[in-house]
């Protein structure tokens, strides 16, 4: 029987890749907390009707990409392909009476049966944030600034362009959509099959075409800015003004659109300079009408932003951004015999309590095999304790960088190693520092 293999276009995350993923999550969480966001985790499963009937009707996500199945009671369920609808559903259930707006973020796995391509996995992680319950152009600018800070902090500064546009409100879009339909209806001979389908379903999607002929036609197509009403124009101008105030550079792109009816006002993307078809680091837009599609009686203003974690991880790695390896072993204990184990087991625990990354070699392999392992894991120091060392209270300490070896009293071993590696290399993180111990109040008799 063949060894089991992972499902195609899923991935195991470990080693160096996992370190970059952890780094990205830490940077994102830090930025979110600075901006008063709290974390939300929504279920991996949701009722399929939430999307099929309302949210993504007529899109490729519904027709080709969703993982759907029936449970034991024959209910149609779907694996989460994105989080916004999930978060809005959670907001309507739990947050609508809380002080507004509500700031939420998530780092979640998502599932789409997509065409295999670079940076796109069928199980992928999205890092996203939502501000729900209030409409104000300053919130859009705040969201954009926060995501720019994340990109800069993971080593991608000066490697992207922020593109900005507006899609106004649903009523305003209707006239523009009709103008696009009239324009492209006379030029069908230049459209490919995909764009012809878009023309019938939603002409706005033609503006996102990758077809070179269509992109050339778009240059002469009606412009979005010609159809802005006063209120929408003022909103868009305010967003740009706030971005200027906080010194966020942007480039207006009037072909940048989102085609769902519940989208409104500001849309934006951070794109790299690769020239590839898939050049977007992250996306954001306002979606003030989504709540009504989820059977809520009123529109709930909201703005969001999200990114594919894998896209950023691999871009960061390709940018030669080096990370400190906090898993590097400072002290590796080699034992030869039960007497040595009895000494080194508590010493290994004490080393960890003193913030030394230490590892005790177990089993009964030879000194040669244990030294090979120490080399393979790049241990900084190796402490060797055999039968004679255990009896005399002395160990052999080898510096793996210099190749020198000295005798050190076992009772002085940890302080000696700490002095050699310096305090800044110690791992001082402890989750117990987050504990708050509250003394119980005495009952009044």
CA separation for the pair 415, 275 (Å, rounded)? 54
| Token code pair at residue 101 | 């707006």
Q: Residue 17: its pLDDT value, please?
A: 92
pLDDT per position as a tens digit, 421-436: 876 666 655 555 554 5
Q: Is 249 exposed, middle or buried (0-12, 13-18, 19+ CB in 10 A)?
A: exposed
Indicate the pTM of the whole model: 0.84
With contact defined as beta carbons under 8 Å apart, do 384 and 398 qualify?
A: yes
Sheet-wide strand order for 123-132: 38-39, 102-111, 123-132, 302-308, 280-286, 264-271, 161-166, 251-252
Q: What is the pLDDT of residue 319?
A: 81
CB 290 within 8 A of CB 262: yes
- Per DSSP bridges, beta strands 102-111 and 358-360 are unpaired
Which residue has tokens 């706005």?
204
Q: What is the DSSP string of 40-57?
A: ----SEEETHHIIIIIST
Tokens of 243: 């971005």
Whole-number Å distance between alpha carbons of 421 and 406:
16
Give the model's pLDDT for residue 276: 66
CATH class given for the domain over 15-168+228-318: alpha beta
Question: What pLDDT does residue 22 have?
Answer: 93
Nearest to 80 by CA among 42, 115, 27, 106: 42
Per-residue confidence (pLDDT) for residue 440, from 0 to 100: 62
> Which tokens sit at 252?
């207006």
**pLDDT cut 90: percent of the chain above it:** 52
* Beta pairing partners, 38: 104
- Structural contact between residues 301 and 133, judged by C-beta atoms closer than 8 angstroms: yes
> Looking at residue 225, what is its pLDDT?
78
User: 173 Cβ partners below 8 Å, 6+ apart?
Assistant: 167, 204, 227
Q: How far apart are CA 265 and CA 140, in angstroms?
A: 10
Q: Which residues of the chain have pLDDT under 70?
A: 50-64, 116, 119, 259-261, 275-278, 423-445
pLDDT for 430 equals 59
Which residue intervals of the chain bear CATH 3.40.50.800? 331-425
| Buried/exposed 371-403: b ≥16 CB within 10 Å, e otherwise | beebeeeebbbbbbbbeebbeeebbebbebeee
Provide the CATH number for the domain formed by 331-425 in this structure: 3.40.50.800
Q: Are 359 and 380 in contact (CB under 8 A)?
A: no
pLDDT tens, position by position, 60-96: 555 568 888 899 999 989 898 889 989 999 999 999 9
Which of 251, 226, 256 minimizes the C-alpha distance to 240?
A: 251
Structure tokens at 229: 């009403």
How many helices (H) and strands (E) would you count in the chain? 15, 16
List residues bridging with 283 in a β-sheet.
Answer: 269, 306
Angstrom distances, CA of residue 376 to CA of 29, 329, 369, 391: 33, 11, 11, 29
Domain limits, CATH 3.30.930.10, in the chain: 15-168+228-318
Q: How would you classify the pairing of strands 331-335 and 280-286? A: unpaired
In angstroms, the CA 331 to CA 427 distance is 13
């Amino acid at each position: 029987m063949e060894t089991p293999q992972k499902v195609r276009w899923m991935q195991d995350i470990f080693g160096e890749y996992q370190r970059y993923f952890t780094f990205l999550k830490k940077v994102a969480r830090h930025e979110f907390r600075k901006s008063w966001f709290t974390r939300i985790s929504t279920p991996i499963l949701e009722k399929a009707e939430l999307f099929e009937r309302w949210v993504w009707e007529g899109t490729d996500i519904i027709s080709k990409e969703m993982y759907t199945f029936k449970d034991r009671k024959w209910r149609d369920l779907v694996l989460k392909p994105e989080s916004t609808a999930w978060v809005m559903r959670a907001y309507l259930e739990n947050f609508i009476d809380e002080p507004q707006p509500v700031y939420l973020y998530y780092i979640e796995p998502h599932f789409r049966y997509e065409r295999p391509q670079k940076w796109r996995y069928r199980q992928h992680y999205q890092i996203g944030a939502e501000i729900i319950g209030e409409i104000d152009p300053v919130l859009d600018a705040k969201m954009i600034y926060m995501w720019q800070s994340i990109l800069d902090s993971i080593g991608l500064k000066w490697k992207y362009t922020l593109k900005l546009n507006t899609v106004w409100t649903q009523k305003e879009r209707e006239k523009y959509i009709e103008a696009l339909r009239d324009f492209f209806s006379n030029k069908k001979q230049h459209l490919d099959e995909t764009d012809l389908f878009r023309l019938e379903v939603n002409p706005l999607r033609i503006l996102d075409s990758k077809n070179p002929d269509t992109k050339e036609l778009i240059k002469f197509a009606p412009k979005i800015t010609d159809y802005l009403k006063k209120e929408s124009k003022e909103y868009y101008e305010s967003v740009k003004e706030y971005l200027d105030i906080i010194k966020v550079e942007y480039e207006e792109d009037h072909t940048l659109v989102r085609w769902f009816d519940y989208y409104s006002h500001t849309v934006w993307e951070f794109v790299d300079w690769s020239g590839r078809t898939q050049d977007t680091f992250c996306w954001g837009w306002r979606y003030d009408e989504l709540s009504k599609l989820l059977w809520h009686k009123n529109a709930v203003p909201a703005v969001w932003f999200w990114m594919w974690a894998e896209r950023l991880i691999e871009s960061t790695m390709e940018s030669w951004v080096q990370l400190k390896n906090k898993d590097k072993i400072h002290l590796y204990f080699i034992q030869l015999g039960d007497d040595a184990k009895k000494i080194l087991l508590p010493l290994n625990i004490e080393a960890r309590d003193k913030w030394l990354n230490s590892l005790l070699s177990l089993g009964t392999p030879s000194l040669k095999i244990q030294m090979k392992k120490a080399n393979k894991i790049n241990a900084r120091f190796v402490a060797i304790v055999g039968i004679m060392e255990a009896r005399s209270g002395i160990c052999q300490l080898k510096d793996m960088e210099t190749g020198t070896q000295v005798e050190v009293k076992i009772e002085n071993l940890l302080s000696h190693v700490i002095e050699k590696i310096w305090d800044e290399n110690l791992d001082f993180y402890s989750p117990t520092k987050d504990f708050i111990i509250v003394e119980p109040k005495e009952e009044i008799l």
